[in-house]
Amino acid sequence: MDARQQQEDELMVLESVYMTEFEAVSREYPNIEVKLTFPTVPEGAQHSVPEEYLFDVSLYAKLSEKYPDELPELSLEGLEEILGRNANDRLLTELRMIAEQNLGMPSIYAVASEMTARLGNVEGRLTGKQMFLQNKLLELKLDDKDIPVEEDEKLIVDGVEIDESLYTDEIELPDSDED
């Protein structure tokens, strides 16, 4: 398979895997360039993270005429402005190493996967456990101040109402006709 066909196939894969994150800056061979934009915090968890950690990071990949036999030209946007040049350079170096390890085969998916994994470990970002503990601490502070909190309030997560009824054992299952 020639380089052109491999690049076009990789574009199709990236577009199908990263539907909302994917943007083809240029689809014209040999000047193909893609942009993948990822949030640092997944959509469902954004309510419990301080605003300064809510930002997007974009990965740009320019593919040369000989890619995948040559490395893609990688760049990042959005990380340096928030976390500084060192964090940007460190992540970019790691992403280039992934591309080098995959030299000779399409590598943008592997690079993007590594980037999303690294964004999950951004310095200063709260872990799931830290967010849980922060919420528990907030609940304790509310109890200490005797601020009235409605017991009937329902938490809505991804469109599903969450309340204590979901955790009760009083579930009646229909009898089975099979013996």
Determine the Cα–Cα distance for residues 120 and 60; give it in Å rounded to an integer: 19
Q: What angle do CA 55, 61, 66 make, to 5 degrees?
A: 170
> Does 132 share its domain with 107?
no
Supply angle C-alpha 151, 152, 156, rounded to 5: 115
The listed range with the strongest mean pLDDT (68-72, 84-88, 163-167) is 68-72
Is 50 exceeded by the pLDDT of residue 149? no
Decide if 175 is inside a domain: no
* Domain assignment of residue 32, given as a range: 3-119
Same domain, 85 and 29: yes
pLDDT at site 51: 76
Residues 14 and 102 in one domain: yes
**Please, what's the largest Cα pairwise distance for the chain?**
70
The answer to whether residue 172 is domain-embedded is no
Quick one: 146 and 110 in the same domain? no
Residues 96 and 16 in one domain: yes
Residue 35 has pLDDT above 80, yes or no: yes
> Residue 65 is part of a domain; what is its CATH number?
3.10.110.10
Residue 82's pLDDT band (boundaries 50, 70, 90)?
confident
- Contact residues for 68 (Cβ-Cβ < 8 A; gap 6+): 3, 6, 7, 10, 102, 103, 104, 105, 106, 107
Between residues 124 and 50, which one has the greater pLDDT? 50
Q: Which residue has the higher pLDDT, 101 or 140?
A: 101
Query: Which residues have C-beta within 8 Å of that of residue 64, sequence separation ≥ 6?
Result: 30, 70, 72, 73
Task: Let me know if residue 147 belongs to a domain.
Answer: yes
Q: Which has the higher per-residue pLDDT, 144 or 69?
A: 69
- CB contact at 8 A, 99 and 91: no
Residues 83 and 55 in one domain: yes
Give the count of domains, the chain: 2
If asked whether residues 32 and 107 sit together in one domain, one would say yes
Residues 101 and 154 in one domain: no
Q: Are residues 30 and 92 located together in one domain of the fold? A: yes
* pLDDT, average across residues 121-148: 57
Are residues 58 and 15 both part of a single domain? yes
Give SS3 for 169: coil
Q: Are residues 139 and 87 in the same domain?
A: no
